[in-house]
A and B are shown apart, each in its own frame.
Chain A
Amino acid sequence: MSDMKQENINNTKYDIPPELEAQVHVTTLDKIYNWGRRSSLWPMMFGLACCAIEMICTAASRYDFSRFGMEVMRPSPRQSDVMIVSGTVTKKMIPQIVRLYNQMPEPKYVVAMGACASGGGPFKEGYNVVSGVDKYVPVDVYVPGCPPTPQSLLHGLITLQRKIDAQSIKEVRWYQKEPIEALPVPVLGPDIMDPRKYEIFKAQMLQEEAQAVESAAQAEQA
């Protein structure tokens, strides 16, 4: 509630008569809107790997992130505001993660918790590991550590709150005229396939064809 103190809230330079100061608060819409959202960030109950255990510890009695308005963990993406990607993202799992992200209503945020979710971590070289969830889903806050301690996860979530504080209704993407496109869900092929990168395949195939034609022509000349 510290943000709701008189001096913080009454910074719009409107003069309030002294006798009304206890009853009337004047503030900006952004401020009250952001305050409301940042004080009840509901994380999605969604654990991937080791980091999920530290996430549970953060939720448990000693670290208790309900002090910051995050105690309501929702198992359903439809009811959650922030997805804490807590652990190694594998190729087999990434289609589901993108789908979950698409199912979350706006405004939504993503916290990449730990080294694996941020960039692949110790398992980066693995054949089934995605080098960071940000290759497929936009990430707001990265929390380093393997796994991050509950304190650093809390710090990451507070950082996210600061980020929300700085947002403005005028500019946020969910109040723009254009509809927000859902992210394309990756396809499990011979390896994971990102539909946004199909052009590279096409370019590669064209190049190969051109090379084949060229080599055929060279063979004819010879």
Chain B
Amino acid sequence: MSEQTLASAANVLEKGELLSRFPGYVTRDERNGYQGYIIKADKLLEIVKAVRDEIGYDYLSSVTGVDYLPEDMMEVVYHASRTIGGPPLTLKVQVPRNNAVVPSLVPLYPGADFQEREAWDLMGIRFEGHPDLRRILMWEGFASHPLRKDWKEAYFEEDGKPFKSRWPDGHVWRAEDKNPFGLNVSYPEGFNPETWTPDKDALLYASLSRSQGGSESGLRTEPVLVNMGPQHPSTHGVFRFTVILDGETIMALKPVMGYLHRNHEKIGERNTFLQNMPFTDRLDYFSSMSNNFGYALAVEKLMGVKPPERAEYLRVIMAELTRISNHLAAIGFFLNDLGAFFTPVLYGFEERELILDIFEAVSGSRMMCNYFRFGGVARDLPEGIYEKISKLVNERLPRKIDELDLYLTNSEIIRGRTEGVGVLTPEQAIAYSTCGPVLRASGVPYDLRRADPYSIYDRFDFDVAVRYHGDAYDRYLIRMDELRQSVRILQQAVRDLPEGSIQEGKPQYQVRVPAGEAYGRVEGPKGELGFYVVSNGKPNPWRYHVRAPSFINLTAYESMCVGNKVADSVAILGSIDIVLGETDR
């Protein structure tokens, strides 16, 4: 059955059944610029179960909340997809702001776990029936739910940029000077620090011993509690996880994040649409071009523009070069975690530097490229760069990938450390909403470049890499496979790169974005990278949410680790390939 007929079959089911089977509980979202269905909260579980089991939306991409302050309403937005491909289905639940309670979807989609916790942490939406509803990015005891529209942070200046103090007259002042503490802090009125008792991770440890099956009062004597991170060389940044060990075997594990929570989403609501572009660079800082891509797609969907041919090709070239540089680094760091200390990274970084040279030449910056624009790209290739790319992808990279493969793949130590370690079955991988190499290494050939093609990916001849064991070794192999597929795409894109303009219309600093919502998603190097953008017609987005693949892949981390040895947890984490900038945002 082709994708076309599948999609239309789903439409029939949706139109015919979803609306008629639950009359009054499911309505079409009629707002201008919106799509999907609005579901009544009290029948959410039942309806979503039907959507999952009968219509086949077995994969819950994204869960997030939107605070519609003027309408006095909180909206929870779900994006579900089918792992056989096709566009996502948008489901929404609307609840009043002062009593935002929504049934939790964790029993149906365990992948909603962290995302619901995030929505609770940042927006204050309570998910009833969630097994472990703690804060996830901020710490327990933080004064507020910061993404609520009526909450203002210490350095709050205005609702939207550019701030009047900076433009047009430019009376710049330092925010510290206006704060009584000289710091970026604000406290509730009459707060006395001497009577404050910090949480000291009590809730975390209670949750940890709960999932181990022990008593809630505290730890018994035999199992050992180990904290790893946030400063630990194998956690790829400031990730932390706590484990309960029986001997060396992991009995329970809880990831702790937020140590790099940089408030992308709050700052993004204040930025203009274009100002957000450089911020997306800093999400997954290994692959800034892919992040640009996702955000550009989301806003272009809202604006209804399409970039010209040459820009599309440039985009694909940059995105695939990013994938290669990311996977080279990921393989290197994975080997680092296994104990091959820094030698593979040096090999990977040698090629990565050459790719960064290209990025620097086209965008002006090695890592933070800020290269994509709505309806095009920022600059054309400078002189000599086309030849450089062409030489790299046709001559050097294939050879170097084979070299890396030769050195690493059949190494006895690597195979001994990773085969059969951290197994994730395909059912689990889908249920936990894992994406990218993690999902495909578990035997699910779900790659957005094929499943829901965007840009011009439908023109290229390439295979979706898939492996079937779901262990750490396969997650390593799949990155090797993807390196080769990316080179294939690059060779075709470089060969076919047309001449022409690189920007649809005139480049604009202040774009006009009509009101509505859009979910733009790309297959980033780490998986499905989605941007959910809500516009209300103003120069700044009303909501800017990032569906971060690293963050959601970590949902499956506990189930991959339990039963393995503690040293393997490091290898498993390396095989997931997380970047904290994206995990914590």
Contact = CB atoms under 8 A, between A and B. Distances in A.
Nearest to A116: B262
Contacts of B231: 46, 96, 100
Interface string A137-154: 000000000110100000
A47 to B, nearest CB: 6
B156 to A, nearest CB: 8
A125 B580 CA distance: 20
A5 interface: no
A126 B260 CA distance: 12
Contacts of A35: none
A67 interface: no
A198 B238 CA distance: 28
Most A-side CB within 10 Å, residue of B196, B270, B367:
B367
Interface string B137-178: 111011100100000011111000000000000000001100
B187 interface: yes
Nearest to A45: B233
A122 B238 contact: no
Interface in B375-397: none
Given A123-B267, A127-B266, A130-B184, A187 B191 contact: no
Main secondary structure of the interface of B (DSSP, over half): loop
A189 interface: yes
B191 A201 contact: yes
A93 B141 CA distance: 15
A88 B262 contact: yes
Given A92-B258, A127-B263, A190 B143 contact: yes
Contacts of B230: 93, 96
A27 B157 CA distance: 57
B195 to A, nearest CB: 10
Contacts of A96: 230-231, 259
B350 A61 contact: yes
Given A50-B285, A75-B232, A125-B157, A192 B350 contact: no
Contact of A190 (B156, B188, B350): B188
Interface in B501-535: none
A87 B260 contact: yes
Contacts, number: 167
A62 interface: yes
A205 B194 CA distance: 12
Interface in B249-264: 258-263
Interface in A71-108: 75, 87-88, 90-93, 96, 100
A52 interface: yes
Most chain A CB atoms below 10 A, which of B143, B183, B191, B192: B183
A124 B262 contact: no
A129 interface: yes
A9 interface: no
Given A62-B350, A90-B259, A129-B184, A188 B139 contact: yes
Contacts of A54: 366-367
A164 interface: no
B196 to A, nearest CB: 5
Nearest to B240: A96
Contact of A191 (B143, B198, B233, B353): B143
B282 interface: yes
A70 B156 CA distance: 41
A128 B191 contact: no
Q: Tell me which of B146, B156, B233, B260 has the highest count of chain A C-beta atoms within 10 A of its own C-beta.
A: B260
Given A48-B238, A49-B581, A124 B345 contact: no
B193 A193 contact: yes
Nearest to B279: A122
Nearest to B348: A60
A212 to B, nearest CB: 10
12 contacts: A47-B238, A48-B237, A49-B238, A60-B350, A123-B267, A125-B155, A130-B183, A187-B193, A189-B141, A189-B198, A193-B185, A193-B193
Interface of A: 45-50, 52-54, 56-57, 60-62, 75, 87-88, 90-93, 96, 100, 120, 122-131, 135, 146-147, 149, 187-195, 197-198, 200-201, 204-205, 208
